[in-house]
A and B are shown apart, each in its own frame.
Chain A
Amino acid sequence: MSKTFETDIVIIGAGPVGLFTVFEAGLIKLKCHLIDSLPIPGGQLAEIYPKKPIYDIPGFPEILAGDLVENLMEQIAPFKPAFTLGEKAEKLTKLDDGRWCVETNTGTKHIAPNVAVAGGLGVFTPRKPQIENINYYEDKGVDYMIKDPEKYRDQRVVISGGGDSALDWSIFLADVAKEVYLVHRRTGFRGALDSVEKVMKLAETGKIKLVTNAEVDELQGTEKLNKVGISIKGDDSKTFIDAEYFIPLFGLKPTLGPIGDWGLALEKDSIVVDTSDYSTNLEGVYAIGDINTYPGKLKLILCGFHEGTLMVQSAFKRIYPDKNLVLKYTTVNGVNGF
């Protein structure tokens, strides 16, 4: 059975802006539930640049992106945010009682009067090599990520890519699969030295078959994938390898994804908002952080913090139309968690 959660604000995207919004919501006693397609909170900061210093967070002359995420997690802990991680927000439906339901790709439902889209650059999806018929073979032998390595037991697998995940999975599958080919565009690998050495050792003993200076550019098979075509640089002929699986591992890239089909007013892949409360054209749905746009928009974390702060005030008024909100300072009242 898939789960259903109820809360005050469903936040789509657990990046810095989504996280800080939990704090501002908590101060006015609203509860939040965050959804993120990545398995960890932090969004771009965790996925793209955890070790990069950021210099424009007020009060921090310099802070590593990863540390900022850790600090935010500590800051919002008193307000006990709920998380659905590793699932992609896919459907937005209006319920009969006026509340919204956000459903993920695995069927988890999140119901709340307010939804805040804090999706940043969108949902991180695997980068697909530009091979003509690759979409046809998805679920028929092409996998962009490895969920269950046992699937490849005694199968013939072609991995392509030159980064850490391509190296690490080649090493791992060398003991599982019948044959492992690792195809890379260049001769050298730029992954962790230790992994490169391991791959080279396994290549010497034939447990990994290395094909360098080469690219996979053709897939064949009627029902399922059964042949992978590889072109080697400076060689006009093409090599075909019999294989049941092709696993391209070229990292993740963000795309707007299903959010683009929710009926939100968009401008160049960004959600148009009213800057008085960052509301969208759908009542009760807000957009904050890098995913929104308005005249003068700057895609900065610090602007997203401001947007989330104003947004929760509006969300409060939607839940309690008769209550007046008085701004309380944390210096006066402290932080009273749930």
Chain B
Amino acid sequence: MEDAVEIIVVDREGEEHTLEAPTDMNLSLMEVLRLYELPVKATCGGMAMCATCQVYIESEHELPEMGDAEQDMLDEAFFVDDDKSRLGCQIPIKPNLNGLRVTLAPAEEE
């Protein structure tokens, strides 16, 4: 598909999914995960306020720098890996992300 990138997602069971993510729909990584019905709650809807879309970045792609809201949230989140953790909702799907590989962070227990 034109205007799309491939993203590889490892879910919480260790299973690998290859997702085709359109770059022309102003989507975030979190929204793509939701489109494919991966188990991401996205409680806050994408405002960097819940960390349910936390992922570990496993490839060397250049990502936008973290904003204050994302840093604040990751400061309070659980299962954070300082080198790898990002919030999916803060990563816009852009052409340079082709081949991006991420792992879903564990879900918080109720």
Show the binding face of A for B, using Cβ within 8 Å: 48-49, 52, 121, 127-130, 161-163, 185-186, 190, 250-251, 253-255, 299
Q: Measured between alpha carbons, how far is A161 from B72 in the docked complex, in Å?
A: 11
CB pair A49 B47 closer than 8 Å: yes
Whether B15 is near chain A, meaning CB under 8 Å from some CB there, is no
- List, in ascending order, chain B residues with CB within 8 A of A254's CB: 43
Q: Which residues of B contact A163 (CB under 8 A)?
A: 72, 75-76
Structural contact, B80 and A185, CB atoms closer than 8 A: yes
Contact A186 B44 (CB under 8 A): no
B60 at interface, CB cutoff 8 A = no
Per-residue CB proximity of B10-36 to A under 8 Å, as 1/0?
A: 000000000000000000000000000
Secondary structure of the A side of the interface?
A: loop
What residues of chain B lie closer than 8 Å to A129, measured between beta carbons? Answer: 78
Residue of B71, B72, B76, B82 contacting most chain A CB atoms (<10 Å): B76
**Which residues B45-77 have CB closer than 8 A to chain A?**
45, 47, 49-50, 71-72, 75-76
**B2 touches A (CB below 8 Å):** no
- Asked if B71 contacts A190 (CB within 8 A), the reply is yes
Name B50's contact: one of A130, A185, A186, A253 (CB within 8 Å). A253
Q: Tell me whether A255 and B108 are in contact (CB under 8 A).
A: no
Contact B49 A48 (CB under 8 A): yes
Q: List 6 A-B contacts (CB under 8 A).
A: A127-B76, A130-B79, A186-B82, A190-B72, A250-B76, A299-B45
CA distance A43 to B85 in the complex (A): 29
Q: How far is the CA of A129 from the CA of B77 in the complex (A)?
A: 9
Please judge, given known A-B contacts A130-B109, A253-B50, A255-B110, whether A186 and B75 are in contact too, CB under 8 Å: yes
Question: Which residues of chain A are within 8 angstroms of B108 by Cβ–Cβ distance?
Answer: 127-128, 130, 253
Residues of B within 8 A of A161 (CB): 76
Q: A130-B108, A190-B71, A190-B72 are in contact. List 5 more A-B contacts (CB 8 A).
A: A48-B47, A49-B49, A130-B78, A130-B109, A253-B108
